[in-house]
Structure 1
Amino acid sequence: MAWEGKDISLDHALGGGAPYLLILEGPQLAEIDAALRYFQSLAQPMEILNPSTFPLPGLWSILRSVSDNLHSDYGFTLIRGAPVERYTREENMIIHVGISSHIGAMRGRQDHQFKGQPADVMLAHITDMRRPSGEQNYALAAYTDSEVVFHTDVGDIVSLFMLSEPANGGESLLASGWTVYNALAETRPDLVRVLAEDWPIPSAQEPGLIKHRPLLFYQPARGSTPERIILQFSRRSFSGFGAHSRLNRLSPIQMEALDALHLLAEKSHVAMELKKGDMQFINNLSMVHARNSYVDGPDSRRHLLRLWHRDPQNAWATPEPLRNRADRIYADKFRRGPQTFFVDPIPRPVGKV
């Protein structure tokens, strides 16, 4: 799962056959449309979307190979060609949830309430929430047009579905965790040790509470399972963002380690200019990702749908310090209410998952 961005081609003519690129064609698009119409005929909520209620018999094996690639090969896949302009926003949501259910059947909750009521919010709208009001008081950079530095999300798989593009900018940047680790181990093994030690991480659930865990996890090979490197961090969990910036609690060597992660990811990343109709799937345990700042136009607003997934058939073992967090988004014991998929953008508050 180690690769350099310079070796990745997203040109279909040059990268044809690459496991990280899937171009949807006529028969596949017709099958997706038929699956949408079948699900709509059931008159059921999106909570029941799964491979049975969104059947894709021709695409099924291809989408299962996408999961294989996410977990044991490149760690990312770009699916291109969904005709979002043909469908309503709700229909595009159904298509995203339906297709992704074949790749990662378990969906992760991204919030525990909706409009003040207990709920399992399963989908997030990633767009500049300050428009048109110009409101600046957002604690998450994802909900602005600002740069988002290299980090990881929560959960095993992150998928994004591009509904509309900005006027310019907003490229998605991906880097292999193995490549970053290998470079760090070769040049600064002392920083590898620092990353594998406990760090003071502000709790997302209880403001003011500091939890301690590593940012880097090593899993040795066992049987048919290869050795793995897992990175789980967000620089802004230490520094905050915008009006919610806070004093960081890190030592100089920890700051140096974070800087090294960013610089090595920047050096080895691949940049994706996501187009309308693109679906991007990444292994959130093996990859780090970032986003360039962007500018929306009067009629061109960057807007993506985001889901978190787990594929029970291919899922990696969760390191013990991450299990409670993983349970909070996947386990039934933390369920608060019905699965909710809101159609209009509402930012996910900090401290909910």
Structure 2
Amino acid sequence: MGDWVEKISYVPDRAKYEAQQAIFKDRAAEASLPEGFPARLSSEMVWDSDSISLDERCFVNDERCVLHLSKEQLGEIHDALQTFKSLNKPLGSLDPTTFPLPSLHPILRDISNNIHRGTGFSLVRGIPVDQYSREDNVIIYVGLSSHIGCIRGRQDHQNNSVPADVMIAHIMDFSSSADSRSVTLPAYTDGEVIFHTDTGDIVSLFVLEEPAHGGESLLASGWRVYNELAKTRPDLVEALASDWPIPSSKKEGLIIRRPLIFPLNPSATAPDGILIHFSRRSFSGFGAWSHSNALSVKQAEALDALHFLAERFHVAMELRKGDMQFLNNLSILHARRSYPDIPGQRRHLLRLWLRDPQNAWEIPDALRHKWDSLYAEEASHGVQVFPLAPSMRSAGKANST
């Protein structure tokens, strides 16, 4: 089948991609952009490594991008922790009223504004995690983040095989402690994670332990990637905006057909732009999870283009212990470099999938069911739980239900 690719690799092949570029670039000029997709996006959310820097000195006066917590702000966070613990309420009740941050609240609201209408990412730096217990760190993370996005998404439907709404995930290398053949998500290894998006509006990470070296978080503006494709390869924009065969993560054998990019209607909370939602793993498989849905040559090239353009334009963020990272998951592509764990120092992150109803973007109909499964109350599987002990989500293990 000369026009089809039966199998693609999880890590793209640069030499193969560049060879395809030489073949298809000339004929690509004849293509036009799909209806509703702009020729060029102009926004703070369009940036690359030449126009933005993650050098902390560049952001000392710009708390929207990097907030270095002061002694006074850390004291306010500690007081909020004590206030919440005195209420004797479950962690699911954490919100701006039960975790009050009177001075920090307007700054954290500006961070949400930046995530939705600015650069698309922010970092909160300086939580002294070693001074707190695991449970206290979870309370601080969930409580502070509620001022940025007060709605939390479900990350699993069961906890210890009991139906539940699992609201927090532990991100670390499980492949060395479990049968590595059972791992189906690259986040649960120490290897490279290529550019992708997660599920949900805002993806957040909290660093409980950093690796000895490596493991940098790589961020790329999906809108900068789009501008390059719209200018040089409108045929790939057309491919990305067409339906793709995406295997369901919920039901074996079910294929969902939808685009990977969507036009974003401008509103009070969203600039004129595009929305992007994809993972190469859906088409390549990973570890114990594999499938054989064929892609067209054009689709395979489009996936490669997303990765290699993101790689070209990205900035690297070295996440330190005590950092909280917040990303617009609808516009920012993210990846991770590989890292080694060493005795006594295992990379360990917590993750939340957040939504801010005051700033939330309109979700396309093709994604609405998936988003509802995260955020809608009627999709609940049971009580909200915030596991303190590290474990893989059921979606990250082979033969999970």
- For the criterion TM > 0.5, the same-fold answer is yes
Q: Aligned partners of 1:134 and 1:209: how far apart in 2?
A: 27
Considering only CA atoms, is the larger Rg found in Structure 1 or Structure 2? Answer: 2
The letter for the 1-side match of 2:192 is: E
TM-score under structure 2 normalisation?
0.85
Structure-1 residue corresponding to 2:278: 233
Name the aligned partner's letter for residue 84 of structure 1.
V
CA drift of 1:224 comes to 7.8
Identity among equivalent positions (%) equals 58
SS of the aligned residue for 1:245 comes to coil
* Post-superposition offset of 1:137: 1.8
SS of 2:149's equivalent in the other structure is coil
Q: 2: distance between equivalents of 1:66 and 1:320? A: 27
Cα distance in 2, alignment partners of residues 32 and 131 from structure 1? 35
Q: Does 1:32 find its partner at 2:116?
A: no
Aligned 8 A contact 2:263 2:273 in 1: yes
Q: Which residue of 1 aligns with 2:207?
A: 162
Q: Point out the more displaced range, 221-230 or 90-99.
A: 221-230
Distance 1:49 1:299 in 2: 31
> Residues 224 and 13 from structure 1, CA distance in 2 versus in 1: closer, same or farther, beyond 3 angstroms?
closer
Q: Which amino acid aligns with 2:255?
A: I
Partners of 2:158 and 2:179 in 1: CA distance:
25
| 2:132 aligns with one of 70, 87, 91 | 87
Which of 129, 150, 154 is matched with 1:105 structurally? Answer: 150
Matching residue's letter, 1:249: A
Whether 2:182 is the aligned partner of 1:137: answer yes
Kept in 1, the 8 Å contact 2:54–2:316? The answer is: no
Q: Which AA in structure 1 matches 2:328?
A: N
- The runs of 5 or more residues in structure 2 that have no matched partner are 1-44
> How big is the shift at 1:251?
1.0
Deviation at 1:225, TM superposition (A): 4.8
Aligned to 1:321: 366
Instruction: Let me know the Cα RMSD of the aligned residues.
Output: 1.5
Match of 1:282 in 2: 327
Deviations 1:10-44 (A, max 9, x none): 33323222321110010000000000011111111
**Equivalent in 311, 319, 325 of residue 266 of structure 1:** 311
2:54 counterpart of 1:10: yes
In the TM superposition, residue 5 of structure 1 has moved relative to its aligned partner by 2.2
Distance in 2, Cα, partners of 1:139 & 1:186: 36
Instruction: For 1:196, give the aligned amino acid.
Output: A
- Report the Cα distance in structure 1 between the residues aligned to 2:268 and 2:372, rounded to whole angstroms: 26
Distance 1:82 1:136 in 2: 35
Paired residue type of 1:313? Q
Q: How many residues align?
A: 353
SS for the counterpart of 1:313 is coil
**1:170-209 paired onto structure 2 within 5 Å:** 170-209=215-254
> Is it true that 1:292 corresponds to 2:332 in the alignment?
no
Runs of 4+ in 1 over 3 A off after TM superposition: 131-136, 220-225
8 Å Cα contact 2:209/2:349 also seen in 1: yes
Mapped to 2, the partners of 1:56 and 1:5 lie a distance apart of 34
- 2:93 pairs with 1:48: yes
Stretches of structure 1 that go unaligned for 5 or more consecutive residues are none
- Cα deviation, residue 277, structure 1: 0.4
Please give the per-residue CA displacement for 1:141-164, whole angstroms capped at 9, x wherever unaligned. Answer: 111111111000000001000000
Letter in 2 for 1:162: V
2:257 alignment partner, SS class: strand
Q: Is the 8 A contact 1:110 1:329 kept in 2?
A: yes
Q: Does 1:219 align with 2:264?
A: yes
Say whether the 8 Å CA contact 2:54–2:315 is kept in structure 1. Answer: no
Q: Give the aligned partner of residue 32 of structure 2.
A: none
State the Cα distance separating 1:134 from its structure 2 match: 5.7
What is the CA–CA distance in structure 1 between the aligned matches of 2:270 and 2:165, rounded to whole Å? 33
- Equivalent in the alignment of 1:331: 376
Do the aligned partners of 2:270 and 2:361 also contact (CA within 8 Å) in 1?
A: no
Q: Deviations over 1:155-182 (max 9, x none)?
A: 0001000000112211101111110000
Structure-1 separation of matches of 2:193 and 2:212: 18
Deviation at 1:136, TM superposition (A): 3.5
In 2, Cα distance between the equivalents of 1:185 and 1:9?
A: 25
- SS of corresponding position for 1:328: helix
Q: Hey, what does 2:102 align to over in structure 1?
A: 57
Partner Cα separation in structure 1 for residue 61 and residue 100 of structure 2: 24
8 A contact 1:6–1:270 mirrored in 2? no
Question: Can you list the C-alpha shifts for 1:84-132, whole angstroms capped at 9, x where unaligned?
Answer: 0100111111110000000000000001111111100000000011233
